[in-house]
Amino acid sequence: MRIGFVGTGAITEAMVTGIAGSGLDVTEIVVSPRNAAIAARLASRFQSVRIAKDNQEVVDTADVLFLAVRPQIAEEVIRDLAFREGQRVVSVIAATDRPMLLTWIGEDVQLTQAIPLPFVADRQGVTAVYPPNAEIASIFDALGSAVQCETRDEYDLLAVASALMGTYFGLLDRATGWLVDKGMAREKARAYLGQLFTGLALAAVKEHQTPLETLRREFSTPGGLNEQVFEDFERGGGNQALANALERVLHRVRG
């Protein structure tokens, strides 16, 4: 299988890194030259990576083609390319719906949408895929795991959920900053909080059949410190602010 990437940004670099270290039967990974620094770095790291002369060569070469350009330039880039009928195309372009992509492509291709996250580089990512496609899902399973969405609504909701990454790191940053302001060394505060949140994430995965509300109560002694922080967060409007932010992202995703 030859895999091609139109667009050579951070997600392409993460996917190529993951694919190159996976057990997938890939003979060649062809990347576009648009971001020369990333393309050169990938070509120097992995023997299977080749830099194409232009985006059209990527399209012509790929058995499975990934579209990984920024939404702001997606239409301009895609309309300029000639696709093959029946070609397997995967769009990882954010906030761009499938009918619009097909209009820009202008050919009867097998189009799948996906939301790979940076963790695919370490083959620990979870990737939403729509519509269900066993072959494309198998690629993302090799990079962690794939969740095949039966409907566009499911896919849109997972796209919204993926927008929580910045908030997660922002929360860690604010808590680390608070500890630093109280006199703790930043590296010590960050190491503690990073491991704390890792443990909590692992617990959520391990106890996947346990309701999250139950886990919250199990990790919060009645009248204790964890319960106090959650109740203060809720009274301070934290839950409503989160819900409002997710609603705004959903509105943007659905156009």
CA 115 to chain centre: 5
Checking if the pLDDT of 48 tops 90, the result is yes
Domain parsing of the chain, residue ranges = 2-149, 165-253
- The answer on pLDDT for 253 being more than 90 is no
Q: List the alpha helices (DSSP H) in 23-85.
A: 36-45, 55-61, 71-79
127 within 8 A of 116, measured Cβ to Cβ: yes
Spell out the CATH class of 165-253.
Answer: mainly alpha
pTM (2 decimals)? 0.89
Cβ neighbours for 181, distance < 8 A, ≥ 6 positions apart:
none
pLDDT digits (tens, 9 = 90+) for 181-204: 999 999 999 999 999 999 999 999
Backbone dihedral region for residue 217 (phi beyond 0: left; psi -120 to 50: alpha; all else: beta): alpha
Which pLDDT belongs to residue 34?
A: 86
- Please give the helix or strand (H or E) that residue 112 lies within, else none: strand 110-115
Instruction: Examine the pLDDT at 212 and tell me if it is beyond 90.
Output: yes
What does the alpha-carbon distance between residue 213 and residue 120 come to, in Å, rounded to a whole number?
A: 29
Under the banding of pLDDT at 50, 70 and 90, the label for residue 101 is very high
Domain 2-149 belongs in CATH node 3.40.50.300: no
CA distances 124 to 18, 140, 209, 254, Å, are 9, 10, 21, 28
Are the folds of 2-149 and 165-253 the same? no
Please give the single-letter amino acid code of residue 136.
I
H-helix or E-strand spanning residue 65: strand 64-67
* Run of H or E including 136: helix 134-141
Quick one: CA dihedral 50, 54, 56, 57, positive or negative?
Answer: negative
Average pLDDT, the chain: 96
What dihedral angle (degrees, nearest 10) is formed by the CA atoms of 38, 40, 45, 50? Answer: 110
Given a cut of 80, whether residue 226 has pLDDT beyond it is yes
